[in-house]
Structure 1
Amino acid sequence: MGTLLNPPRGSIRPEIQAAQTSIHRIVQTLRGPELKQKNIQLVINIYDGAVSNAFMGNTDSFLKAFPEASRRPMRLLLGYKDDGTVIYELALTTQVLSLYRSEDEIAFVIAHELAHLFEGHVEAIDESAEKQLKEVPRKWWSAQQYEVVADYEAMQAMLGKYELTAAKTALDQLLFVESESNYSNYISGLMDHHHEGVRLALVEAAIERMRSKDPLAKVRALTPLPQSLRIAAASNPEPRSPRFEEQKTSILRNVSERFLKGRKADFTSEERGILTKLHIPVYESQILEIKHKEGELQRNKRNGKTKEQRRKTKQKINLIS
């Protein structure tokens, strides 16, 4: 991640203090009441580094990685009582902050990480090193599910507060899995994040659905990025890989066609099963309803219903999808 720029003790540059204050304000805007209600202890840390990244972690993760470490000194440094309550860390790099030109985009990144916290993903992927090695395929699949759900929950948290299309531009700017050095890892299936082409298509579909269902999803003017968050990264990021860009375009086109152009009813049973396993909130209800109507169609056929009745049921499926 790089060097911690706002240590719990010691001097902190004024611009870093201002950035930390702005991030805290965004956190409170997005999910402040829930954090207070659940008495969640959240520390905001900013790291210097060339990688565009943000993550949510906790003290349990640290102690499992370094069992010889004592919890008490860390808690005292952070200003918390040694009462055993888990401390969560929202971490962002200066590089990820330097990517964006609106508060809305940074709000999406923060909301995404908060979603991991509230959905229990931090604990779910917090396994011992030995267990991780034994269960790499299962852990990889779970991580993909978590990212999709976190994207959707982030947009829900943004409703009525920030412009939803910022989720698309934020994802498009992220370089976390797009550098040339990460390409082989992505191809081998070891990355913890969905490729952005898939996530962009799903986010686009979610925005379209929210716009049609919720008045809070109406188009809003982007909130200009406050000066306090205009932090220049100390190091230059790795350039985007042309191969990632080509693949992103292909995935975005294919997934968009299937999700946005009325072809959901053409999914194979295997594809529907994958979507159901992912628990994608945007489509789950539609998929279940389609499956229900298809079951009705099969029952009609078995019960000798007329061709006209079967045609009407097919029309219902097309309307849903």
Structure 2
Amino acid sequence: MNVIKYSCAIVLVVLALYSCKKDDDGGATVTPPRDRGEQQIADDKLLQDYLKTHFYTPEDVDVNNDAVVEYQIVKFDTIAGDNSSKEAIFNSSLLTTKKVTKNDVEYILYILNLDKGEGKSQPTFADFAYTTYKGELLYSKSTKVFDSAITPVWFDLASVVDGFREAVVDFKGATDPNPMPNNDGSTTYTGFGRLVVFMPSGLAYFNATNQPNIPAYSPLIFNIQLYNAKQADHDGDGIPSYLEDLDGDGVVFDLDDDTDGDKTPNYADSDDDKDGTLTKDEITVKDLNGDGVITLDEITFYDDDNDGIKNHLDFDDRDLKNE
């Protein structure tokens, strides 16, 4: 699905810069991406113009056409003609902003907080989220919707576009994340998180070299319903993935989170320091309250040589701790 943006896409972007466009001498020419700071200024103007000239109305989603409404999304229209008296999204009391810094550029997300959610589950930036969603372009001569899921799907938030992740982590799941299915097999949730995020291209697909349905430098809109979240431990080493973000930037797949330099970041590496002893054997984990969620105080870290580096990150310390 288009919302997923794996880190390997970085490689595709680099390769795409060497396009098939030819210069006068018959050689390939490089089309560099736009300046991110300048593009953010342009995108923010587009987003603000859209928010100031459009309003929204709820729209029921009946998954199986059985007169049972599973959830609502919002529909957008222009403030004009018979709709001239409608309140602009920009003026809504439900609209908030969130600033996100990436590549030394400060971006602004515009988030319509329809319902924060009443459940206990709330994902971190590296967890799994159970959602329905619809992705739209601001403007399009053909269809505006480029991707959607009307029945819930699990997403790995470590691998989605930044704007999607940064918006969802501020919401909670449903009151009952595992309700009984309806007679027709569909499921109706209550008290779940509902939001719409308006994001600049810099927190989406930017120059979109590998996104055929999304033009380059497109700000995007995502209608999102969040039903559940699960803590992720991608490499099964006992350390929740969000705690393997060593540089604290809210991203777990960059080179700053790769202790042993093997090009596999710690959250996906079962032996973080490449000392031959698996990470899970260099720490002790106990789910003290049995809730299936591991917190920092439920992990015992060791430093056998007292050098200030925890065993699982220190090539010199490799003793088994759970024999």
Larger relative contact order (Cα-Cα within 8 Å, sequence gap ≥ 6) = 1
| TM-score interval, smaller chain | under 0.3
Q: Identify, as 1 or 2, the structure richer in strand.
A: 2
Q: Identify, as 1 or 2, the structure richer in helix.
A: 1
